[in-house]
Structure 1
């Protein structure tokens, strides 16, 4: 199994991971138990959708899987993949905030993330932008993007570089209907290729092969 310890640098192709497994997982932050005794298994080709009120631990769980927060107890690991790389190195993490540098063009923003993530590009910059509906905006400064366009650019990272596990925090926030349809298409293709998705959301996602995990907590 793959531990989640190092900063992600090396991606692999979807389908390399056979299962994502959490066992008796707990997270304590600021002296408060965010979640505890959490166990689940997500096989390749399926999605785990996290639901629950604000403060229930959805975002914290994604950060634990991504290696950004250490679990207080328990383990999270993956079966399969490249044993020389950590769980985090097999994950794409898309959080609440869309990492867009205002002074760089749309294309330059995506190029930065492709180079930062490393490994074999899955698509060219132009193809990835076209897939999320930003093909005509490659030269536009990132500071001019609307909230929905910023989210589309953030999602373009998922398909610009191969990584088999997608960790998504409110992925459809700010997206209009066409954006939500685009997101569903990207997810369906990723799952069909044997990928895994773990998504935190307040809105229905209806992903293929979807499991649901409701987390409790104070609203």
Structure 2
């Protein structure tokens, strides 16, 4: 991202959320975006994740300029190269744990990807919980399912929006450890957090101001 600008609100009365933002995250690096509520950290994350668009500047991912990419091209990159940990976990409540994780697999469902799904669930401490229905899980367990969904995809870029919010220290540490593991395997990790403890687990902090 270089010299990026983002505005919010109707065009005639739009307010500049941030401008002139340049950010680089290398493979294997963990970067945390910090700053006060309302400064646009999550919006910046969404722009990097191709869920939102910039109003100025440029965005390149994995060496490709995606500033003005088509909707189809953006979807292809999101599907194959980006793993996203949302604040609300973005799980399907009435589906099982394994069905939710299988959604991240490029091809096939649970049957075709069972080994990968089982391995990912073992890593996050949910081995043997494949058939549990998501709405019956605790918040910490649901976040771990979301992490397993990222692990099974093996993305080049991981975006995490407040990944430890509302988690106890044990579950928060597990999530951060898995993000570190992904970075060690070559993923670029960009995280938003209000938690100084979580931010300290990253290699670098970048402050966004209003």
**2:207 is matched with which residue: 193, 207, 214?**
214
Match of 1:23?
A: 2
Secondary structure of the corresponding residue to residue 93 of structure 1: strand
Secondary structure of the corresponding residue to residue 42 of structure 1: coil
Stretches (4+) displaced over 6 A: none
Over residues 138-193 of structure 1, what are the superposed CA-to-partner deviations in whole Å (9 max), with x where a residue is unaligned?
11111111111111111111101121110100011232222222223212222222
Q: How does 1:1-219 map to 2 (within 5 A)?
A: 22-30=1-9, 31-80=14-63, 88=78, 89-115=80-106, 124-203=116-195, 204-205=197-198, 206-207=200-201, 210-217=203-210
**What RMSD, in angstroms, separates the aligned Cα atoms of the two structures?**
2.6
User: Which structure 1 segments of 5+ residues have no match?
Assistant: 1-21
- Hey, what's the Cα distance between the residues in 2 that align with 1:107 and 1:117? 13
Whether contact under 8 Å (2:102, 2:149) holds in the other structure is no
User: Which structure 2 segments of 5+ residues have no match?
Assistant: 67-72
Structure holding more helix per residue = 2
TM-score w.r.t. the length of structure 2 is: 0.81
TM-score w.r.t. the length of structure 1 is: 0.78
Equivalences, count: 192
- Hey, what's the Cα distance between the residues in 2 that align with 1:112 and 1:93? 13
